[in-house]
Structure formats: C-alpha cells, structure tokens
A and B are shown apart, each in its own frame.
Chain A
C-alpha cells in the first residue's frame, strides 16, 4: 500500500491540511517511506487475537449526574480569535 498524489490530496482534505503543491512530491516520498516501514505489520501472524485498544483491561469508571461546572465564558473567550455577544465567530457556514 502506498500513497499517490491523489490519495494524499484526499487524506489532506480529510485532515483539513493545506498541501503546498511544490513539495507534494517530496512529502509523498516521505510518507511512503513511513508506510513502507509500517507495512512490516502485514507479515505479522496475528491469528485471531483480540485487538488491544487500551493498555488497561478494566471497565470504565463513571461519574454521578451532578452539575459541577459553572460559567467560565469570561475566562476562556479572551483566548479565542473572534467572539461577539458570547458566541465564537467563524466565516459564515453555508449548508
């Protein structure tokens, strides 16, 4: 499995990354060298072993349904690039 420029463009769009067309070839090469290394996995004989998503094989601990958080808008909104009337602003979304 290897990336071609078309696949790279699709993946970059999914990741919302802009690709500079001038170094797209070099990037494709580097990514393919990583994928070559990763492709060693294909030879692994994993049988029917269960995938391991997490090092801890235990159940999730849950929290009680209690409101513990208050209004922190005045603290966190100064961190945002653009806000107005308490809302975060982004270029208009057209659905």
Chain B
C-alpha cells in the first residue's frame, strides 16, 4: 500500500480495496518500525489517527466521504494541533500542547485526512539540513549518513521513505522545495497569502507559507485544493476563489514559455545537477514548450537580503517566548530579567539565537537604514525582476538546490555555507511567488530536484508542468532502498 500515491490510495479507498483504518494501521506500523532510524517524526499520534480513520470509514459508509477521506498524512510540527505537542523542533515548546488547531490542520481534517503524527524540523524552521532540531537530526532515507534538507526535513524524509503518503511543510526561504529536492519528492510553496498562516508558528511573517509535500504533482494538487483559501483569522490571506488544482493537470504544454534565468545556472553549478535540469527541460520542449533565456539581475542579492529580513522578523516574532504564559521557563529565576534571559537562552538552540541576534542588530538604532531598509529595497528590485520576467514567460525554471544531499555535520560549523543551500529558492519567497520542486534525476544514488516558479496565483500552471513531466518520466517514482520491504 505504501508504494501508492495519495491519488491511487484515494481510488483504492473509494473502491473498498482497504479501509481507512487498515491504511492507517499499515503506515503506523511502518513508522513504528522504520522511524527510529530516520527520526522523521517528533510525535506519533496513533490513537487519534485510528479514531480519525474509523470516523472516515463511517463517513464513507454514510456516503459523506470528503475528498481526502481516510487518506493518511502528517503535519510538520510547526502547525498547532489541539491537545497534541506542537514543539516547532524546540526545547522552548517541548511541553506545549497547543490549545487550538491551525487552519491548515482544520481544513485537511474537514476533508477527511487522517493525521499520523507531527514531523521533525529545524528549530523554528531555521535551517536547511534539519540538524538544528531539539529532537536530533533527521536522516535522508537515500543515504542515512546524509541530511534530508530543511527545514521541513522530517516531512520530506517521511514521504520519501513512504512512512506516510504526504505531509504538510512550510517554506520561508526554500524549506519545502530544498528538502523535497534532496529526498526525491514533490513539494509546493504556494503564492504568499494563498494558504492561511493561522496556527502556523511564525518564523518570518512576510515570507512564511504552508504547502504540500508528496510523491507526485497530482498529490500536491489534491492537498493544495484542500489547504488553500481565505481565512478571516489571517488578514494577509487573500480572499480569492481557490482553483481546482487537479482539473488542469493534463493540459498540454504546447506554447508554454519557460524562462531560464542565467543567474540560476552559474558557472560554478555542479555539472551533474545542470545536466539533470537540462534533460528535464528537453523533455518539456518535446511536449511543446519553448525555452527563453532571461535574466533576474537582482536575484544574486537575495541571500543577503533574506538574511536581514528573515532574522529581523524572527527576532520580533520569537519575543513572545518569554517563559510567562506557556513554554519553557528556567529553574529558580533570580529576578525578572534573569527569568527572561535564562528561559530564552536555555529554551532556544544555537542557530535560533544567532538569527535572533542578527535580526536584533539589523533593526537596532543606527543600523536600521543600512540593513533592514536596504534589504527591503533590494527585495523590491528582486520582486520587480520577476514581474518583468513574467511579461515574457509563463514559468521560470532551474535547479532547486545547488547541490545534492550533503553529509550530516558537514556544514554545521559554518552558517554562511549552510545559508547558500537556499540560493535558488529564497528569491521566490522575497517576491511571494508560487514554486515547486520535482524530482528530475538520481545521481550517485541521490535525487536531484528541479524548480518550477509560477506567476502569482498560478499554482495550477506549475502543477500542470510538473504533472506532464511526471507522466513522461519516472523520477518521482524512484524510491530509496530504505524501508523498501517492510
């Protein structure tokens, strides 16, 4: 069962090949036996999952099955789930059983999905390797000595190892797409404002966006249709009808103009990744698309701009973790200042503290103009580059990540090298555009991902491109040897 896509499982459930309970039990068994090695889950919610599965079976029997009825999924541990630990990968929230459900959680549950657990992640989504988690690093199922990428590394590894057919993720600078690329799955970051952020613990509010991670574009379309939509509790969430993302998946690509920014193909790019990307482009050309060379001149500044804006917003967003109303409080505080300082220093890990310090510095008196304001202006230039490019092309493509999955610990000592892992993904968040990563090759036993960037609210179009590609190729069906026979 675990080799099937969400779409196939949906059909199987509808036919009665298996019940939602059988499905849930099967995947829970896989998680219990295989995850101790991967460490992709922080919490397994078996009991609740079985109850949800029984409810799904009952709903189907009554003829009231929703679109996701009985389909097992997992949530990144950044989404609040009522009564269930919501740690955000941090010691700060290790004891935090959220008192409410995130909108994304509510919507998927309303569609009938069965939640098997909460997946591991970089602490407060700050990382590109899943090594900053308080719960330990997640391993890449393709090679257990390598990272799965981050920050949604737990969701990526779990889906890649088929411990769950699909999972939610969040993407602030590449946190869905980069781990999707490094684990050989499909992951989509929607347009900023397409999916509600209510209940999604904030990292950088003007960049964060939730999206689906699954083994195919069709599965992502199915999930996104359920996740997206206006939410009165998030005033940055756009009030605009949600497309049926599954409807146009098969549309021919004839006449599609694909922009190839020269900035995404630097001379220093790993030749094997470049080759896989070009091979994918040739396949799309074969289907009628045309390739257009373009330039996004300001994109080269996206990493420095991001590493001002994201830490600045984060430094403020994470101020609420003060040991007063929830979360970690240090033992025996001497006074108020001591309580604030020790609770935060003991509750946050090293990378989170680094980013809070950088962000605080960038906003502090005398530096605001040079850092924060400058970064916001550069952000405008980057966004304008994309706006101009989309006057010429329909989608923009390139490699998702400049490198394959790297070794655990290889970059832990050098934050700046780690930050470069997101060099191709970050600009999209600064502009607020939708983008996905899809598998496009396997090199030396490690998957390669290709990124497809769409214009605002054109999630349907990039899913269409990915789906057509996946109809013609089988990269997305390649699976790691790990857990293959269980």
Interface contact tally, CB-CB below 8 A: 164
Is the Cβ of A17 less than 8 Å from the Cβ of B238? no
Is the Cβ of B356 less than 8 Å from the Cβ of A38? no
A55 at the interface (CB under 8 A from B): yes
Say yes or no: A91-B374 contact (C-beta < 8 A), given A53-B206, A56-B432: no
For the complex, what is the distance from the CA of A41 to the CA of B300, rounded to whole Å? 10
Is the Cβ of B376 less than 8 Å from the Cβ of A53? yes
Is the Cβ of B232 less than 8 Å from the Cβ of A34? no
A51 at the interface (CB under 8 A from B): yes
A67 at the interface (CB under 8 A from B): no
Is the Cβ of A35 less than 8 Å from the Cβ of B358? yes
Say yes or no: A50-B380 contact (C-beta < 8 A), given A17-B353, A79-B97, A90-B324: yes
A22 at the interface (CB under 8 A from B): no
For the complex of A and B, list the 3 residue pairs with the smallest distance between their C-beta atoms, beginning with the closest.
A55-B432, A51-B376, A81-B329
Per the 8 Å Cβ criterion, residues 60-95 of A in contact with B are 60-63, 72, 75-76, 79-82, 88, 90-93
CB distance from B263 to the nearest CB of A (A): 14
The residue of chain A having its C-beta at the shortest distance from the C-beta of B433 within the complex is A55
Is the Cβ of A11 less than 8 Å from the Cβ of B378? no
Is the Cβ of B354 less than 8 Å from the Cβ of A91? no
Task: Provide the residues of chain B in CB contact with A40, threshold 8 Å.
Answer: 301, 304
Partner-contacting stretch, out of B62-70, B135-143, B145-153, B337-345: B337-345
Is the Cβ of A91 less than 8 Å from the Cβ of B336? yes
- Can you offer 27 A-B residue contacts whose CB atoms are under 8 A? A7-B361, A10-B364, A11-B357, A14-B360, A15-B360, A16-B341, A17-B345, A17-B357, A18-B341, A31-B357, A31-B358, A33-B416, A37-B304, A38-B362, A41-B371, A41-B378, A44-B378, A44-B381, A50-B377, A52-B376, A55-B430, A56-B432, A76-B325, A79-B99, A80-B324, A80-B325, A80-B326
Chain B interfacial residues counted at CB < 8 A: 72
Identify B322's interface contact among A16, A46, A93, CB under 8 A. Answer: A16
CB distance from A14 to the nearest CB of B (A): 5
Task: Provide the residues of chain A in CB contact with B361, threshold 8 Å.
Answer: 3, 7, 11, 31, 35
For the complex, what is the distance from the CA of A30 to the CA of B379, rounded to whole Å? 25
B406 at the interface (CB under 8 A from A): no
A12 at the interface (CB under 8 A from B): yes
For the complex, what is the distance from the CA of A38 to the CA of B315, rounded to whole Å? 16
Say yes or no: A91-B356 contact (C-beta < 8 A), given A16-B341, A37-B307, A75-B99: no
B18 at the interface (CB under 8 A from A): no
Task: Provide the residues of chain B in CB contact with A44, threshold 8 Å.
Answer: 298, 301, 374, 377-378, 381
Chain A interfacial residues counted at CB < 8 A: 53
For the complex, what is the distance from the CA of A15 to the CA of B348, rounded to whole Å? 12
Say yes or no: A41-B341 contact (C-beta < 8 A), given A55-B432, A91-B335: no
- Max chain B Cβ within 10 angstroms of own Cβ: one of A8, A11, A15, A88: A15
B291 at the interface (CB under 8 A from A): no
Task: Provide the residues of chain A in CB contact with B431, threshold 8 Å.
Answer: 55
Task: Provide the residues of chain A in CB contact with B301, threshold 8 Å.
Answer: 40-41, 44
Is the Cβ of A38 less than 8 Å from the Cβ of B367? no
Task: Provide the residues of chain B in CB contact with A61, threshold 8 Å.
Answer: 235, 239
Task: Provide the residues of chain A in CB contact with B298, threshold 8 Å.
Answer: 44
CB distance from B127 to the nearest CB of A (A): 14
For the complex, what is the distance from the CA of A12 to the CA of B324, rounded to whole Å? 19
Task: Provide the residues of chain B in CB contact with A46, threshold 8 Å.
Answer: 374, 377-378, 380-381
For the complex, what is the distance from the CA of A41 to the CA of B423, rounded to whole Å? 15
For the complex, what is the distance from the CA of A33 to the CA of B239, rounded to whole Å? 42
Identify A56's interface contact among B95, B238, B342, CB under 8 A. Answer: B238
For the complex, what is the distance from the CA of A81 to the CA of B334, rounded to whole Å? 15
Is the Cβ of B193 less than 8 Å from the Cβ of A42? no
CB distance from A62 to the nearest CB of B (A): 8
Task: Provide the residues of chain B in CB contact with A14, threshold 8 Å.
Answer: 360, 364
The residue of chain B having its C-beta at the shortest distance from the C-beta of A81 within the complex is B329
Is the Cβ of A15 less than 8 Å from the Cβ of B315? yes
Say yes or no: A52-B338 contact (C-beta < 8 A), given A15-B360, A37-B419, A91-B333: no
Is the Cβ of A55 less than 8 Å from the Cβ of B206? yes
Is the Cβ of B339 less than 8 Å from the Cβ of A90? yes
B288 at the interface (CB under 8 A from A): no
Q: A51-B373, A91-B336 are in contact. List 9 more A-B contacts (CB 8 A).
A: A1-B367, A16-B337, A19-B345, A33-B415, A38-B308, A44-B381, A55-B193, A55-B207, A55-B431
B436 at the interface (CB under 8 A from A): no
The residue of chain A having its C-beta at the shortest distance from the C-beta of B97 within the complex is A79
Task: Provide the residues of chain A in CB contact with B96, threshold 8 Å.
Answer: 79
Is the Cβ of A15 less than 8 Å from the Cβ of B356? yes
B305 at the interface (CB under 8 A from A): yes
CB distance from B282 to the nearest CB of A (A): 33
For the complex, what is the distance from the CA of A49 to the CA of B373, rounded to whole Å? 11
Say yes or no: A17-B324 contact (C-beta < 8 A), given A38-B307, A54-B206: no
Is the Cβ of A56 less than 8 Å from the Cβ of B192? yes
The residue of chain B having its C-beta at the shortest distance from the C-beta of A23 within the complex is B350
Say yes or no: A56-B236 contact (C-beta < 8 A), given A16-B337, A44-B381, A91-B335: yes
